[in-house]
Amino acid sequence: MRPETESQLADLIRGTRESLSITGGATRLWPGEGQGARVDMTAMIGVTLYEPEALTLVVRAGTTLETVRHTLAAEGQMLAFEPPGAPGSTIGGVAATNASGPRRVQAGAARDALIGVRFVDGHGELVQNGGRVMKNVTGYDLVKLMAGSRGTLGALTELSFRTAPLPPVTTTLALPGLDAPGAIRALTSALGGPDDVSGAAWLPGHGALIRLEGLAASVKARAADLTSRLSTFGTVVEGDPDAWRLLCADAQDATLDTWRIICRPSEAPMLLAHLPLPLFLDWGGALIHVQLPAGQVPQLPAFSGHARRISGASPAIVPAQDPVTARLERELQNRFDPRKTFAGQT
């Protein structure tokens, strides 16, 4: 099913008796997702409104991330949260997963740049924030709610984003001698200082990576300050500017399961002691991607975040949920999708 308009989508949802799975480019369905009848959103494309001077973009959900990037770049702009995505990813998929790249440490996540949504809920009703807010959803911050909702509450049809100017100059500093646990202290120090760091990551073969962006003179001064402050952790050299793109690359070994661990950076060294060499660390150590043999669950001590398998061939492993989150999810589903039409998701 590939609806072309909101009313076709609404009719489809209202009339269905089977469970539905909403997909964009289907590039990053989690294990267990996509089990219902697929509703492919890629026919709902196009930029509805772009006002560069007002830093506002309104775009239909099936539009590819590449198209959005090109549209904005033509006006010297970008989405500040640096959306990651494989070729074919849609902007609806980005919003539905709250996907955010390395600049999250400075500019926030997709959720923070999203300023408006339109979606069709499980009743088959078109809902939008502002304007014609449906009576039954008054009281919810729909934008925050839908960012990261992964097709469980409704099918997003249109998104409004705040855009940002592209930085004129970018510099990457690297501490190539640091291993993953050793990098955390350097990244934490860089992020905690006055130098307005826009990326703090670790990659095998590259070591700790720190990014600075802005006007040339400012970047130069901040790079000098950081180089001096970080010299206590090791030798600071000019880093590979392409390394940031490697953080957005898919894992190479498809026979393994990829796990995504979100934690406090202070807990990351303790967790890394129980894991194989990570694919990368980002967000100063708050995000760890690691690959494990198919079906193996990471054996981690208690920590204040969560681990989730995001790709791999073994069957879905649904992480235990704390009772408060489980109750909130149940209540939201009762409000937006009482027939459990979107139950094809986990």
Ligand X SMILES: Cc1cc2nc3c(=O)[nH]c(=O)nc-3n(C[C@H](O)[C@H](O)[C@H](O)COP(=O)(O)OP(=O)(O)OC[C@H]3O[C@@H](n4cnc5c(N)ncnc54)[C@H](O)[C@@H]3O)c2cc1C
Supply 35's token pair: 């089990």
Q: Which of residues 227-256 bind ligand X (CB under 6 A)?
A: 248, 250
Contact flag: residue 309 with ligand X (CB under 6 A): no
Q: Quote the Cα angle for 264-142-248, to 5°.
A: 45
Contact flag: residue 172 with ligand X (CB under 6 A): no
Contact flag: residue 99 with ligand X (CB under 6 A): yes
Residue with tokens 């469980």: 152
CB of 158: closest distance to ligand X in angstroms? 9
CA 341, distance to chain mean position in Å, is: 25
Q: Quote the Cα angle for 197-199-201, to 5°.
A: 125
| Part in contact with ligand X (CB under 6 A); list of ranges 95-103, 206-214, 271-279, 316-324 | 95-103
Contact flag: residue 156 with ligand X (CB under 6 A): yes
| Part in contact with ligand X (CB under 6 A); list of ranges 21-29, 72-80, 183-191, 229-237 | 21-29
Tell me how far apart the alpha carbons of residues 277 and 4 are, in angstroms, rounded to a whole number. 45
Contact flag: residue 92 with ligand X (CB under 6 A): yes
What binding mask, one character per residue, do residues 38-67 give for ligand X by CB under 6 A, x or -?
---x-------------------x------
Q: Which of 6, 57, 81, 97 binds ligand X (CB under 6 A)?
A: 97
Contact flag: residue 163 with ligand X (CB under 6 A): no
| Part in contact with ligand X (CB under 6 A); list of ranges 28-36, 47-55, 163-171, 263-271 | 28-36
Supply 288's token pair: 């760890």
Tell me how far apart the alpha carbons of residues 104 and 16 are, in angstroms, rounded to a whole number. 38
Nearer CB in complex with ligand X: 99/210: 99
Q: Which of 26, 126, 221, 300 binds ligand X (CB under 6 A)?
A: 26
CB of 64: closest distance to ligand X in angstroms? 8
Tell me how far apart the alpha carbons of residues 95 and 117 are, in angstroms, rounded to a whole number. 9
Contact flag: residue 261 with ligand X (CB under 6 A): no
The answer to whether 62 and 9 have CB atoms below 8 angstroms apart is no
Where helices occur in the chain by DSSP H, the ranges are: 6-15, 65-73, 91-97, 104-107, 110-113, 142-146, 180-192, 216-230, 243-246, 268-272, 323-336
Tell me how far apart the alpha carbons of residues 140 and 334 are, in angstroms, rounded to a whole number. 14
Q: Which of 20, 22, 145, 191 binds ligand X (CB under 6 A)?
A: 22
Closest CA to 256 of 44, 65, 40, 31: 31
Tell me how far apart the alpha carbons of residues 150 and 155 are, in angstroms, rounded to a whole number. 9
| Part in contact with ligand X (CB under 6 A); list of ranges 97-105, 123-131, 183-191, 231-239 | 97-105
| Part in contact with ligand X (CB under 6 A); list of ranges 132-140, 147-155, 194-202, 228-236 | 147-155
Q: Which of 63, 77, 100, 160 binds ligand X (CB under 6 A)?
A: 100
Contact flag: residue 28 with ligand X (CB under 6 A): yes
Burial class (CB in 10 A: 0-12, 13-18, 19+), 162: middle
Strand ranges, E, within 87-198: 114-121, 126-128, 154-162, 164-165, 169-175
Q: Which amino acid is at 120?
A: V
Contact flag: residue 151 with ligand X (CB under 6 A): yes
CB of 229: closest distance to ligand X in angstroms? 29
Residues that bind ligand X (CB under 6 A): 22-29, 33, 41, 61, 84-86, 89-90, 92-94, 96-97, 99-100, 150-151, 155-156, 248, 250, 345
